[in-house]
Amino acid sequence: AGQSSDSPSNSGDQFSSIGFIASAIGSAIGLGNLWKFPYIAGKHGGGAFLIVFVICLIFVGMPILLAELSIGRGGRGNASTSYLKLSGSKLWARSGFLSIFASFLIMCFYSVVAGWTLYYTFTSFTGSLYESTNFSEHFSQFTGSYGPIIWQLIALLICLAIIMRGVSSGIERFNKILIPLLAIVLVILMVRSLMLPGALEGAEFFFKPDFSKITGESVLDALGQAFFSLSLGMGAMITFGSYVNKKQSLTAATLAVSGGNILYALIAGLIIFPVTFTYGIEAGQGPGLVFAALPAAFEAMPFGSIFGGLFFGLLAMAALTSAVSLLEVNVAYAISKWKWSRARATYLITFIIFLISIPTSLSMGGILGDYKLWGYNLFDLIDYVASNILLPISGLASTLFAGYVWKYAAEESGLTPLWQRGWIFLLRYITPILVAFVFLYSVGLLNI
């Protein structure tokens, strides 16, 4: 235990302060903000859900985020060896390994969806997307065909090219360009959206709290979303934490990532809801909202193929910066565990992810669409196991580890003594209980 030198997975290749924050934001902001958040907010009645989400983010998300960043920087290893170095216990290292496995599984369907976003970006700019007359049929036809395999391969190759270059000239440089670009496109789209006739109605739906819609289910959805959206429980923040030096304030990073995360989710809502209200699209319709429903609005809008292309391009960029962090979790592990070179680790892992994501993609209505296990197709099964089982368990592990096991957590966090006490209190008595609730609820052992 104790402080050791740099992790062999980065051999001194580190983030700058800006690069670290940009990359952590890049990991956090992803499909979760722009695709998932608007539809679950729509489902749970907009504004009231937003308030619950922000509360969950502050009291559960931020403490765990700071814990994971601290574990990474303190342990200076990958998501598994960091635990080992700080505690000397193999059991904790195994719980860390669980998060690495979760990130591997998530990557096997996240890359599929990243591929869809690339396809929609491309076909929106060329206009061919709008040749279809029924967009939801188009969506299921596309996702059920072989086409997405090519697109997910492109998404994976982009991630590969970045991860190959390492931490500072790969991940950091990519995020330093994409995050500001993302912000610019987001603002352009928001301005466009707010000029639509249904803008007021959409914004009102998004912001006006209707507390009668807040049920136990919506609270747990908000917690789960806060968790996923901050990239917790997947080793990403631990891995990134290990690439930053002691001068970096982890508190500032936590604030920036959480604040940025809320901001992007808010703007995503301000883009999507004015569009749904203006073009009469059902806002609470679920996962198909952005792919199956929004193209109709872009089709009806002047210069819609450009705005549509920008919108899907935004999704693609957000998805790629997150996917890069997921891949890095695995590559960092392989480099230190098997002493592989970065190139070898990146090629092999990307290849395996690609192989597994082929059946994942084909289970979305393609030739494997009829194969179900416990009622789930492969895509949903992987999502379920990773998001509902592995994620809460490894999130629980990082909370308990920083709260009870690792004595120097408070010191590493860099918080002032008063805040340290509040943080440790949350980690000990509040976040583990809430995360445990989410877990029991999502595996069906708790009914509300």
Interacting residues with ligand PFF (CB under 6 A): 27-28, 30-33, 103, 228-229, 231, 234, 236, 322, 325-326
Interhelix angle for 173-194 vs 304-338, to 10°? Answer: 150
In the complex, what is the shortest distance from the CB of residue 231 to ligand PFF, in angstroms, rounded to a whole number?
A: 4
Of 402, 418, 404, the C-alpha closest to 63 is 402
Provide Rg for the chain, Cα atoms.
21
- With CB atoms as reference, the residue minimizing the distance to ligand PFF is 32
Q: Shortest gap between Cβ of 322 and ligand PFF (angstroms)?
A: 4
Q: What is the DSSP letter of 209?
A: -
Which CB, 232 or 368, lies closer to ligand PFF? 232
* 109 vs 279 by CB, closer to ligand PFF: 109
To 10 degrees, what angle do helices 431-442 and 62-75 make? 110
Alpha-carbon torsion, ordered 16, 21, 22, 26, to 10 deg: 130
**In the complex, least distance from residue 75 CB atom to ligand PFF, rounded to whole angstroms:** 17
Q: Closer to ligand PFF at the Cβ: 34 or 310?
A: 34
**Beta carbon of residue 222, minimum distance to ligand PFF (angstroms, whole number):** 14
DSSP 249: -
Rounded to a whole number of angstroms, the minimum distance from the CB of residue 301 to ligand PFF is: 26
Residue 169 is inside which H or E element, if any? none
Which one, 130 or 354, has the nearer CB to ligand PFF?
354
> Closest separation between CB of residue 307 and ligand PFF, Å?
22
Closer residue to ligand PFF, CB minimum distance, 30 or 366: 30
| Angle, CA 401 vertex, CA 400 and CA 406 arms, to 5° | 135
What sign does the CA torsion over 437, 439, 440, 444 have? Answer: positive
**131: exposed, middle or buried (C-beta count within 10 Å: 0-12, 13-18, 19+)?**
exposed
Residue placing its CB nearer to ligand PFF in the complex, 103 or 111 = 103
What is the 3-state secondary structure of 51-79? HHHHHHHHHHHHHHHHHHHHHHHHHCCCC
Percent helix, strand and coil across the chain, each to the nearest 5: 75, 0, 20
Nearest of 256, 265, 186 to residue 225 by alpha carbon: 265
Residue type, 229: S
Cβ-based nearer residue to ligand PFF, 7 or 305: 7
User: Min. distance of Cβ 305 from ligand PFF in angstroms?
Assistant: 25
Residue with Cβ nearer ligand PFF (243 or 277): 243
CB of 391 to ligand PFF, least distance (A): 8
Query: DSSP code of 218?
Result: H
Q: Closer to ligand PFF at the Cβ: 27 or 175?
A: 27
Residue reference for tokens 């209505």: 365
Residue 59 CB partners (closer than 8 Å, separation 6+): 426, 430, 431, 434
Q: Under 8 Å CB-to-CB from 169, ≥6 apart: which residues?
A: none
With respect to ligand PFF, which residue has the nearer C-beta, 325 or 350?
325
Give 247's contacts (C-beta < 8 A, 6+ positions apart): 17
Q: Which is nearer to ligand PFF, 152 or 305 (CB)?
A: 152
Query: Least distance in Å: CB of 226 to ligand PFF?
Result: 10
**Cα separation, 291 vs 288, whole angstroms:** 6
Q: How far is the CB of 283 from ligand PFF (least distance, A)?
A: 20
Nearest distance from C-beta of residue 237 to ligand PFF, angstroms: 7
Please state, in angstroms and rounded to a whole number, the distance separating the CA atoms of residues 109 and 354. Answer: 10
